């Protein structure tokens, strides 16, 4: 059973167990709006988040490996120490978000709009950035 994002039964433990029980499937949370949700420390690997909107959400220390968040919005979102290994955020809008000390190995931001974000100490090897984006020191 797939629980929607606003379902109170969608918990850290529930999603983690679903991922363990369904290793060949992807949990689908596409097309939803999340505001002030605390996903810190959650295992969300391979979750589908396409066309979703995240406002003031906390993904610190979360496992977001291989998520698909194409054409999504992240506004004032905290990704501190999050693992975004091979995460796909292409065509997304990312504004006022914190990626400090996150792991972005092979993360895809192609054609994304990134504005006023903090990437201090982020591990950014082999990241596909938007063509007009430059990391500042």
Distance CA 25, CA 40 (A): 22
Tens digit of pLDDT at every position of the chain (137 positions): 566 666 778 899 999 999 999 999 999 999 999 999 999 999 999 999 999 999 999 999 999 999 999 999 999 999 999 999 999 999 999 999 999 999 999 999 999 999 999 999 999 999 999 998 887 65
Report whether 83 contacts 103 (CB < 8 A): yes
User: Would residue 68 count as lying in a domain?
Assistant: yes
**Residues in the chain, overall count:** 137
User: Would residue 107 count as lying in a domain?
Assistant: yes
Q: Say what the pTM is.
A: 0.93
- For residue 56, give its domain range: 25-137
**Predicted pLDDT of residue 83:** 98
Both tokens of residue 9?
Answer: 């039964």
User: Would residue 51 count as lying in a domain?
Assistant: yes
User: Would residue 18 count as lying in a domain?
Assistant: no
User: Would residue 19 count as lying in a domain?
Assistant: no
User: Would residue 20 count as lying in a domain?
Assistant: no
Split into its structural domains, the chain has a count of: 1
Q: What share of the chain is helix, strand, coil (3-state, %, to 5)?
A: 5, 25, 70
**Predicted pLDDT of residue 137:** 54
């Amino acid at each position: 059973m797939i629980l929607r994002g606003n379902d109170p039964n969608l918990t850290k433990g529930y999603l983690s167990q679903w991922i363990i029980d369904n290793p060949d499937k992807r949990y689908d949370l596409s097309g939803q709006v999340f505001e002030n949700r605390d996903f810190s420390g959650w295992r969300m690997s391979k979750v589908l988040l396409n066309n979703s909107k995240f406002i003031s959400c906390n993904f610190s220390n979360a496992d977001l490996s291989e998520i698909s968040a194409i054409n999504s919005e992240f506004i004032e979102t905290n990704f501190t120490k999050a693992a975004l290994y091979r995460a796909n955020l292409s065509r997304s809008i990312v504004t006022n978000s914190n990626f400090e000390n996150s792991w972005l190995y092979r993360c895809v931001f192609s054609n994304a709009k990134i504005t006023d974000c903090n990437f201090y100490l982020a591990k950014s090897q082999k990241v596909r950035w938007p063509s007009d984006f430059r990391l500042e020191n």
